[in-house]
Amino acid sequence: RPHRTELYQDVPSTCWPIVYSPDYNITFMGLEKLHPFDAGKWGKVIDFLKEENLIVDDLIVQACEATEEDLMVVHTRRYLNKLKWSFVVATITEIPPVFFLPNFLVQRKVLKPLRTQTGGTIMAGKLAVDRGWAINVGGGFHHCSSDKGGGFCAYADITLAIKFLFERVQGVSKATIIDLDAHQGNGHERDFMDDNRVYIMDAYNRYIYPGDGFAKRAIKRKVELEWGTEDTEYLQKVQTHVEGALNELKPDIIVYNAGTDILDGDPLGGLAISPQGIVKRDEIVFKAARSRRVPILMVTSGGYQKRTARIIADSIINLHNLGLIDKELATSGAENPKVEQMLRKCTKDLTNLSLQ
pLDDT in tens, 113-139: 999 999 999 999 999 999 999 999 999
Q: What are the strands, taking DSSP E only, across the chain? A: 18-20, 61-62, 133-136, 175-179, 198-205, 221-225, 253-257, 296-299
In a domain, 1, yes or no: no
Residue with more model confidence, 258 or 28? 258
pLDDT in tens, 99-118: 989 999 999 999 999 999 99
- Confidence bin at 98 (pLDDT 50/70/90): confident
In a domain, 292, yes or no: yes
pLDDT in tens, 164-187: 999 999 999 999 999 999 999 999
Phi first, then psi: give them for residue 253, nearest 5 degrees.
-155, 140
Find the mean pLDDT for residues 3-21.
Answer: 96
Number of domains in the chain: 1
The CATH number for 270's domain is: 3.40.800.20
Q: What is the pLDDT of residue 350?
A: 53
In a domain, 3, yes or no: no
- Confidence bin at 326 (pLDDT 50/70/90): confident
Q: What is the pLDDT of residue 343?
A: 47
Give percent of the chain with pLDDT exceeding 90: 83
Q: What is the pLDDT of residue 35?
A: 53
Q: What is the pLDDT of residue 96?
A: 83
Q: What is the pLDDT of residue 338?
A: 36
Catalytic hit among 35, 75, 142, 143: 143
For residue 134, CA distances in Å to 197, 295, 349 come to 21, 8, 21
Sign of CA dihedral 61, 65, 70, 73: positive
Instruction: Indicate the residue type of 124.
Output: A
In a domain, 126, yes or no: yes
- Confidence bin at 286 (pLDDT 50/70/90): very high
Find the mean pLDDT for residues 29-45.
Answer: 72
In a domain, 93, yes or no: yes
Q: Which domain holds residue 22?
A: 18-352
Identify whether the C-beta of residue 115 lies closer than 8 Å to the C-beta of residue 155: yes
Give percent of the chain with pLDDT exceeding 70: 88
pLDDT at 81 over 70: yes
In a domain, 212, yes or no: yes
Q: For this structure, is 188 an active site residue?
A: no
In a domain, 6, yes or no: no
Closest residue by Cα to residue 259 from 324, 205, 195, 193: 205
